[in-house]
Chains A and B, each alone.
Chain A
């Protein structure tokens, strides 16, 4: 592995640790219903970094990127339709 690649991997790792401490820190802030939104937002950034650099999507062809995007889209389907129940459950 080239020196630049090792440095990049360490940099991403440090970035992930900073984001982790942000998640922990945000959980102590009195943000109310925004707390999960902030946590999920940070998690999304962390996942993107892992996909792009550690799973090397930045080097892959369009089809492989599409497959990874597909996994994200399916997760979105799960969240969206579960939310359609949870958000409206007590409203009838």
Chain B
């Protein structure tokens, strides 16, 4: 690495990044790689808006008195945090950025099957996001991200309808992306790229796309029903009008539990790639890992009732949902065991992507195991709606998905930008994120177990020490999240130009120049080997 600005290389001059310099060339592009970059900017923006709301929550919880935000202000802040982080960061984060960029490259295609639909999905996402920002400016919404009835349909005073319309719109972006991925993977694979040669990243995105297409319409319908009841008094969920409030929870969680897997399945795909790359070995039990993604997608649809154990749901239904929830741990466990077996006797290099992958595995296992605890009926009654639940899902979604997002960013950054970053900063970031995350969320397990309810900002003073620890951890986490923006942007100007395959790994995306040309490949490749055909010859690396 040198301090001197490194001028544009010949490869960069003919890359997708230079295929048109005007703003119009970006805003009207149908190149999947450029749309991925557009998504990267957009999701990063929303990540920081959602992060700012989280910061307000953590500042408020430093003291037990509720002396920073009003009751109403606190409700609106955590709702905003949830809505933005779930629908405008976590769901599109990996699929719409890295999935968009990498799937055509990984399967040897020139683009996605429907390039214009791909651009449309970005604009629809932005429309939904803009409406959410309007909700923020107009005073927010106070129902929690779950919009439970009858609070949302009869009593809430915030901008419920506008918020549901925003999410309704964003849902169509998800559906279009899922549809695009499914058709692309079915129809645009290069000659020789059989299903058994697909990288596991592609398998996990295929499973994610199935959920996107099958579950998101249910959310759209459910939110439309809330609006119908709120605006026109049609009795869907209101018992006095002949409705059933629990029906809302059933419909909402029929989407929202699989949505957890929309958030984490792409992350599992990223980690499969990072582990194989770090160990320089084929993934142990390829078919088990591939089909475990499909199994998670399917079984994930059968478990939603575990969110309703204390809602008044029938005890018999709860027992069924409890059993099914325990069953979904099996394919998740298969993945973790197979990653571990892949690392066994591997030539492991402690590069930043591998550190993020290890961080993911640790946090995912911990979050997953506490998920099993929550799936058990008797224990759930004790810890339901406490910070134990908050800690559990943050271990999966933040500890898991966000770690994988940063892992992917550090792994494919040289491919996306054509420049290498300073590795030591990447390693430090991975370590800071791991430490900051655990300091933030581990105390929340203890808080929840001791009885601290979620969504309360005035609490018993005995909980304050743990809340202060959590807020300190959040500060460290915030700094760690900002850190990559310094050295990654620095690398764009001063970073060493990257060879096609800087990590010395397998995969069609590493056979193209870094950054790739607009058409991805001069000639569509013919695939003759499996996805993790190690060892890679040294001359292939450079």
Contacts and interface: CB of A to CB of B under 8 A. Distances in A.
Interface of A: 63, 70-71, 74, 77-78, 81-82, 84-89, 91-92
A91 B305 contact: no
Nearest to A63: B186
Nearest to A84: B317
A18 to B, nearest CB: 27
Chain A at the B interface: mostly helix, strand, loop or mixed? helix
B485 interface: no
Given A81-B317, A92-B316, 10 more contacts: A63-B186, A70-B214, A74-B214, A77-B302, A81-B302, A82-B247, A84-B317, A85-B250, A86-B314, A88-B314
Interface residues of B, number: 22
B214 A78 contact: no
A60 to B, nearest CB: 14
Contacts of B247: 82
User: B247, B251, B305, B314: which has the most chain A beta carbons within 10 Å?
Assistant: B314
B218 interface: yes
Given A70-B214, A74-B214, A78-B218, A85 B317 contact: yes
B213 to A, nearest CB: 9
B254 interface: yes
B316 A91 contact: yes
Would you call the interface of chain B mostly helix, strand, loop, or mixed?
A: helix
Interface of B: 186, 214, 218, 244, 246-247, 250-251, 254, 301-302, 304-305, 308, 312-317, 320-321
Contacts of B301: 74, 77
20 contacts: A74-B301, A78-B218, A78-B250, A81-B304, A81-B305, A81-B320, A81-B321, A82-B250, A84-B314, A84-B316, A84-B317, A85-B250, A85-B308, A85-B314, A86-B314, A87-B314, A88-B314, A91-B316, A92-B315, A92-B316
A63 B186 CA distance: 10
A75 B302 CA distance: 12
Nearest to B312: A89
Contact of B314 (A71, A78, A92): A92
Contacts of B321: 81
A69 to B, nearest CB: 12
A84 B254 contact: no
Given A77-B301, A82-B250, A89 B320 contact: no
Contacts of A85: 246, 250, 305, 308, 313-314, 317
Contacts of B186: 63
Nearest to A77: B301
Which of A82, A85, A89 has the most chain B CB atoms closer than 10 A to its own CB? Answer: A85
Contacts of A71: 214
B316 A78 contact: no
A66 to B, nearest CB: 12
